[in-house]
């Protein structure tokens, strides 16, 4: 039997390795169009590769996928994040967890993951073919699959497509022409561009627990660390908002308004009470010098500018209107987002081959026999935290069966 795995990324390697293990007599090929394999693994997690997450339980784990939750809940029953950790540790790669749940090789170097996968490919005698583009795919009469590879036709008994996310719908034409439904690809995991100099001049500043609400989209609100950048805002809370809102925000052409809560630990009621208490406690202190919210001083200075309170004013002298403005800044600071950017960040594609055309037990296409899918080519994507690689490992593992 000849098995063709198209694409030399995380999903392709995992699918090929398990295919070779499950079928020792098969000839397994990884066919990669560029001169490099595992390119995204290399740059992932800032060069450290966030391989998976400490959330092991399939139901909980699947909740981290804006697209594919139900599908993956079933898939994780076969191979979950705990299996990923075990798989790498069985091969000598120790995996450590960080406080926020992300898991990395304990070398903090993505090359460790690459070396492990490459060693397996060598050990199993998998045929790794670089700079080889698969142009099209045909289902043949005997249900084998013909691949147009560069200018030749080659026949495989089983094919697993692992070509990753594609930015444009044209990238899916070869699969669409075989009857697969394609969910329009749009970016996910992007950061927000905000043209407001006083804010962007605070670049590098972060707050540990912010909240973002997209105005007019009640359900679109996320919490977590926020980072101010030279183009706007970034950090886990922004990436999460972009992931859950990938389609909505694309439909808005990335022009929308948000409310930022800089202090997400308080309800409005609690904050109001606290602010009035502090007014009494701090009475004679100048507002600039006394920030009772543990906000970074630069953010506090910015706050006072934004609510137009003179720095030298005493807490005691703050009017009701000024206190309201302060509460409003802390909980509902409004900005216009004028675009999205993927600068140096993890990004993935929302959309791809529709899950309605894929059998979750085998990852086999419901349109073409012996054709399987794994990884980001499918309409599956997660928030940041190792969830995207986990989807690649899981679907690659199942497809290989």
| Residues found near ligand FAD in the complex (CB under 6 A) | 6-12, 31-34, 39-40, 43-45, 49-50, 133-134, 162-164, 346-348, 375-376, 386-389, 392
How many CA atoms lie less than 13 Å away from 59 in the CB half-sphere? 0
| CA-closest candidate to residue 352, choices 373, 324, 325, 327 | 373
Closest approach of ligand FAD to the CB of residue 366, in Å: 20
Token digits for 58?
């399939």
Question: Looking at beta carbons only, is 222 or 346 nearer to ligand FAD?
Answer: 346
CA distance 28 to 2: 6
Say how many C-beta atoms besides its own lie within 10 A of residue 304's C-beta: 18
| Cβ atoms of 377 and 353 closer than 8 Å | yes
CA distance 227 to 230: 10
Question: Looking at beta carbons only, is 261 or 395 nearer to ligand FAD?
Answer: 395
User: Please, which residues have CB within 8 angstroms of residue 219's CB and are 6 or more apart in sequence?
Assistant: none
Q: Which helix (H) or strand (E) holds 88?
A: helix 81-90
Closest approach of ligand FAD to the CB of residue 232, in Å: 18
| Cβ atoms of 51 and 81 closer than 8 Å | no
Closest approach of ligand FAD to the CB of residue 327, in Å: 37
Token digits for 344?
């140096």
73: DSSP letter = H
Question: Looking at beta carbons only, is 101 or 292 nearer to ligand FAD?
Answer: 101
Question: Looking at beta carbons only, is 278 or 394 nearer to ligand FAD?
Answer: 394
Closest approach of ligand FAD to the CB of residue 316, in Å: 50
In angstroms, how far is the first alpha carbon of the chain from the final one?
14
Closest approach of ligand FAD to the CB of residue 91, in Å: 19
Question: Looking at beta carbons only, is 35 or 253 nearer to ligand FAD?
Answer: 35
Question: Looking at beta carbons only, is 44 or 234 nearer to ligand FAD?
Answer: 44
Question: Looking at beta carbons only, is 32 or 333 nearer to ligand FAD?
Answer: 32
Range list of β-strands (E), 32-168: 52-53, 95-97, 102-105, 127-129, 134-139, 145-149, 152-156, 158-161
**Residue appearing with tokens 């009494």:** 280
Closest approach of ligand FAD to the CB of residue 182, in Å: 15
Q: What is the 3-state secondary structure (H, E, C) of 275-335?
A: HHHHHHHHCCCECCCCCCCCCCHHHHHHHHHHCCCCCCCEHHHCCHHHHHHHHHHHHHEEE
Closest approach of ligand FAD to the CB of residue 397, in Å: 13
Question: Looking at beta carbons only, is 335 or 387 nearer to ligand FAD?
Answer: 387
Closest approach of ligand FAD to the CB of residue 369, in Å: 21
Closest approach of ligand FAD to the CB of residue 240, in Å: 14
Question: Looking at beta carbons only, is 7 or 105 nearer to ligand FAD?
Answer: 7
CA distance 187 to 223: 20
């Amino acid at each position: 039997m000849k098995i063709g795995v198209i694409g030399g990324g995380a999903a392709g390697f995992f699918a090929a390795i398990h295919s070779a293990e499950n079928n020792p007599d098969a000839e397994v090929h990884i066919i990669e169009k560029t001169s490099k394999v595992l390119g995204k693994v290399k740059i992932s997690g800032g060069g450290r590769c966030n391989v998976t997450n400490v959330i092991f339980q399939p139901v909980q784990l699947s909740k981290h996928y804006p697209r594919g939750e139900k599908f993956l809940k079933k898939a994780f029953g076969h191979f979950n994040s705990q299996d990923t950790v075990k798989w790498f540790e069985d091969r000598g790669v120790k995996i450590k967890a960080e406080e926020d749940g992300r898991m990395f090789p304990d070398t903090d170097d993505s090359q460790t993951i690459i070396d492990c996968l490459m060693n397996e490919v060598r050990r199993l005698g998998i045929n790794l073919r670089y700079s080889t583009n698969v142009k099209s795919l045909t289902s043949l009469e005997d249900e084998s699959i013909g691949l147009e590879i560069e200018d030749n036709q080659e026949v495989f008994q089983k094919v697993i497509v692992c070509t990753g996310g594609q930015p444009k719908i044209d990238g899916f034409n070869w699969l669409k022409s075989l009857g697969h439904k394609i969910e329009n690809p749009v970016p996910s995991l992007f950061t927000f561009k905000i043209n407001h100099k006083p804010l962007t001049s605070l670049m590098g500043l972060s707050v540990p627990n912010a909240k973002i609400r997209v105005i007019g989209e009640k359900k679109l609100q996320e919490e977590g660390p926020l980072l101010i950048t030279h183009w706007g805002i970034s950090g886990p809370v922004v990436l999460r908002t972009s992931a859950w809102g990938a389609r909505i925000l694309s439909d808005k052409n990335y022009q929308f308004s948000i409310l930022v809560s800089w202090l997400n630990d308080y309800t409005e009621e609690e904050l109001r009470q606290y602010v009035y208490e502090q007014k009494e406690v701090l009475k004679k202190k100048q507002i600039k010098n006394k920030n009772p919210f543990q906000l970074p001083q630069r953010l506090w200075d910015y706050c006072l500018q934004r609510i137009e309170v003179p720095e030298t004013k005493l807490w005691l002298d703050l009017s009701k209107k000024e206190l309201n403005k302060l509460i409003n800044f802390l909980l509902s600071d409004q900005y216009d987002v004028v675009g999205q950017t993927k600068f140096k960040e993890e990004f993935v594609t929302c959309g791809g081959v529709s899950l309605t055309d894929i059998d979750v037990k085998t990852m086999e296409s419901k349109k073409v026999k012996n054709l399987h899918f794994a990884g980001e080519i499918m309409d599956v994507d997660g928030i940041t935290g190792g969830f995207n690689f986990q989807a690649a490992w899981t679907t690659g593992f199942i497809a290989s069966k």
